[in-house]
Structure 1
Amino acid sequence: MGCAGSSPSKTEEATKKLQKPKPWKHPQALTMTELRRLRDEFWDTAPHYGGQKEIWDALQAAADADITLAQAIVDSAGVIVASADMTTCYDERGAKYELPKYVLSEPTNLIRDS
């Protein structure tokens, strides 16, 4: 416990509970194949945005996991979750990791491949 003006400790920030992303709509309807291509392209290039490759790997694993496992992954990797849907995260050194919604969930206007 701290005074009313104190900020949460890093431990409290790091244990922020993850939530499923809110429903969202892509500007144009995507097929599952197109969505997979976008995701693969993002994860292939993500380490070039800065930060540590190990954190990017942990974020990818968490994005592909169910919410309970995702929570365990980010906690064990020391990821500080700034937004509960994982769109903005930080590592312990303060590097920022921004994840687009399309790597975290499916859009509402997804077209299923036949």
Structure 2
Amino acid sequence: MSHVATYDDGVSISMSQPSEFTPTNLDYMPRAEGDTSVVFKVVLTNNSSEVLEPIVFPEASSGGKPAIMVADVGNPDYPNLGMAPTMSILPGQTIEFYTAFNVADPSNITLEVSPTSFKYENAIFTNIPF
């Protein structure tokens, strides 16, 4: 199951349910004791009539605290984890990538994200169940 936000021009962004994962030793983001690392599949779909130039900076909170984004570009299961795509998405095309966070409470996550910060309002996905 995923959560989808669709904009008036047909562009949409969706976030999957979170999945727990283990970062590799290449992950350089701090994790507080008791935090859980979770990963989300993000899908950007351009059903507009214009080229979409994505600039995606997901943010999250969990258990009343900001979540820390995971940057684990060497992860074999989620290549380039923490690096959102920047290539153009033509009308009718879709691109998928993964983003991850260290969260305090995986049963209480709020995510905020937009396809590009210059043109679209942030979509807010709340209480995404684990």
The answer, yes or no, to whether TM exceeds 0.5 is: no
* Bigger fraction of residues in strand: 2
Structure showing the higher helix proportion among its residues: 1
Q: Which fold has the larger relative contact order, with Cα–Cα distance below 8 Å and residues 6 or more apart in sequence?
A: 1
TM-score after normalising by structure 1: 0.29
| TM-score using structure 2 length | 0.27
- Which structure has the greater CA radius of gyration? 1
